[in-house]
Amino acid sequence: MSDIEIPGTGRQKIVTFVTHLLCLVILFVLPEVLFNYGHPNNHFSAVAYGKAAVFVAVFYIEYYFLLPRVASRKGQIGSFIIFNLILVGAGEFLLYMIMEWARSNFPVGRMMLDADSLLFRQISGVIKDGAMLILTITLAIALRLTDIWIKNDAKRREEENMRRRQELDRLRNQLNPHFLFNTLNSIYALIAISPTGAQEAVHKLSKLLRHVLYENPVFVSLESEVAFMDNYVKLQQLRLPDSARMNIDMNITGYADSRVPSMMFVTILENVYKHADFSEPVSVSLRVDDNSAIFVTKNRIRANRSDSPGIGLENLKRRLYLLFGDKADFHTEEVDGEFIAVLNVPVDTNS
- Looking at the DSSP bridge assignments, the partners of residue 298 are 283, 340
Alpha helices in the chain (DSSP H): 10-24, 30-36, 44-61, 77-105, 108-111, 115-193, 195-214, 222-237, 265-275, 312-324
- pLDDT at 344 (0 to 100): 94
- pLDDT at 7 (0 to 100): 42
- pLDDT at 320 (0 to 100): 86
Q: What is the pLDDT of residues 170-214, one digit of tens each?
A: 655 555 566 667 677 777 777 777 777 777 777 777 766 666 665
pTM over 0.85: no
The strand pair at 259-261 and 246-251 is best described as unpaired
Strand order of the β-sheet with 329-335 is: 246-251, 282-289, 292-300, 338-346, 329-335
The separation between the first and the last C-alpha atoms of the chain, rounded to the nearest angstrom, is 40
How far apart, in whole angstroms, are the C-alpha atoms of residue 36 and residue 69?
Answer: 39
Element (H, E) at 261: strand 259-261
Q: Are 260 and 295 in contact (CB under 8 A)?
A: no
How far apart, in whole angstroms, are the C-alpha atoms of residue 244 and residue 241?
Answer: 6
> One-letter amino acid identity for 83?
F
User: What does the domain layout of the chain look like in residue ranges?
Assistant: 10-156, 194-346
326 DSSP 8-state letter: G
How far apart, in whole angstroms, are the C-alpha atoms of residue 291 and residue 284?
Answer: 20
Segments of the chain scoring below 70 in pLDDT: 1-10, 12, 28-45, 70-75, 106-122, 159, 161-162, 164-180, 182, 207-217, 304-311, 351
How far apart, in whole angstroms, are the C-alpha atoms of residue 341 and residue 171?
Answer: 20
How far apart, in whole angstroms, are the C-alpha atoms of residue 101 and residue 38?
Answer: 23
List Cα–Cα distances, 146 to 4, 6, 7, 187, in angstroms. 10, 10, 11, 61
How far apart, in whole angstroms, are the C-alpha atoms of residue 96 and residue 237?
Answer: 93
Neighbours of 68 (CB within 10 A): 18
Q: Are 330 and 317 in contact (CB under 8 A)?
A: yes
How far apart, in whole angstroms, are the C-alpha atoms of residue 172 and residue 328?
Answer: 18
Q: CATH number of the domain at 194-346, please? A: 3.30.565.10
Q: What is the pLDDT of residues 26-54, one digit of tens each?
A: 776 666 666 555 555 455 567 777 888 88
